[in-house]
Structure 1
Amino acid sequence: MSENNREITLRFLAEPADVNFGGKVHGGAVMKWIDLAAYACGAQWSGKYCITAYAGGIRFVKPIRVGNMIEVVAKILYTGKTSMHIGIEVNAGDPKYSKKELKTHCLVIMVAADDDGHPSDVPEWKPETPKDIKLRESAITLMEMRKEIYKEMTAFIE
């Protein structure tokens, strides 16, 4: 699989329909953009339909204003047998200028599906640079932490 298929950037303007009661872009709109970018990245990498299995660690750093140019960057950080851990950054700024600021970031796990909706194997991504190796290691650490959190959360669902 080509390294070029590992990352995707969606760009668009924040619209008035995206505004919340406080006059900024609604968090739900941002979460939708995150899901769209994660799907596009996962589908591009795997060549298959993908299903969101997890979205977590969503950190809203700064508000986004209506009219801002939005850039949602999605990048494969780790691949399992059927899953892809995708790091997401949402950057935004005045469209008249090239400078964008980090507004939101998170991790999304997408699972590739076959035509019957069953999990399907994905190509393995192998990091080569020190930065990519660190990103992969962080994704693995977060995976282990999620398992522990899930064990604790089962007390709330039983």
Structure 2
Amino acid sequence: MPGTERQLTLRFLAEPNDVNFGGKVHGGAAMKWIDLAAYGCAAAWSGKYCITAYVGGMRFVRPILVGNMVEVEAKVIYTGRTSMHLGIQVRAGDPTSDQKHLTTHCVAIMVAVDDEGNPVPVPEWKPTDEKDIIMRDSAIRLMQMREKIGNEMSAHLS
């Protein structure tokens, strides 16, 4: 039922084909996993097909090793009329241990669309505790900063 599944966690092992030239998991693999988790979370929340509108603030904190158990958590932290802002955290560690360390984090914005690709409304998410309010307020501030950055980036268009 739309508007009830706010969080999604993907769990899997990092595979040898995910390795970069340095022997660690490629950043592009982590970005793909982030996009998959963001889509799954947004689609569950909205009950609609969703497209990625933005992924930003990506921080690669620590490498992921082949054979690590990877957990990619996506959580709705703000909803607009047709968009959902998701906080994403990637954690990894030895699969024989329950301890995972933060490896990557970012914010993704997904937009719900209809069969013609037009944006459609999503259920509103309302924070229920102090931590949720902090995340929502941060998402709003980031949205305001992105507008300024977008204006500045237009100078780089030819």
Do both share a fold (TM > 0.5)? yes
Deviation string 1:38-81 (CA, Å, 9 cap, x unpaired) is 00000000000000000000000000000000000000000000
Displacement of 1:128 in angstroms is: 1.1
Please tell me whether the aligned partners of residues 3 and 46 of structure 2 are also in contact (alpha carbons under 8 angstroms).
no
Name whichever of 62-71 and 1-10 sits farther off: 1-10
Tell me what 1:79 maps to. 79
What are the residue-to-residue correspondences of 1:27-106 with 2, within 5 Å? 27-106=27-106
Q: Moved runs in structure 1, 4+ residues, more than 6 A?
A: none
Equivalent residue of 1:135, what SS?
helix
Displacement of 1:2 in angstroms is: 7.4
Please tell me whether the aligned partners of residues 25 and 64 of structure 2 are also in contact (alpha carbons under 8 angstroms).
yes
Equivalent residue of 2:121, what SS?
coil
RMSD of equivalent CA atoms: 1.1
Q: Distance in 2 between matches of 1:46 and 1:114?
A: 11
Q: Distance in 1 between matches of 2:3 and 2:110?
A: 18
Equivalent residue of 2:90, what SS?
strand
Number of matched residues?
158
Equivalent residue of 1:38, what SS?
helix
The two structures have a TM-score, normalised by structure 1, of 0.98
Q: Distance in 2 between matches of 1:32 and 1:65?
A: 16
Tell me what 2:10 maps to. 10
Q: Distance in 2 between matches of 1:80 and 1:100?
A: 32
Give % identity.
67
Please tell me whether the aligned partners of residues 49 and 112 of structure 2 are also in contact (alpha carbons under 8 angstroms).
yes
Q: Distance in 2 between matches of 1:104 and 1:92?
A: 9
Tell me what 1:26 maps to. 26
Q: Distance in 2 between matches of 1:31 and 1:135?
A: 21
The two structures have a TM-score, normalised by structure 2, of 0.98
Deviation string 1:113-142 (CA, Å, 9 cap, x unpaired) is 011110010000000101101100000000
Q: 1:95 to 1:15 in 2, by over 3 A?
A: same
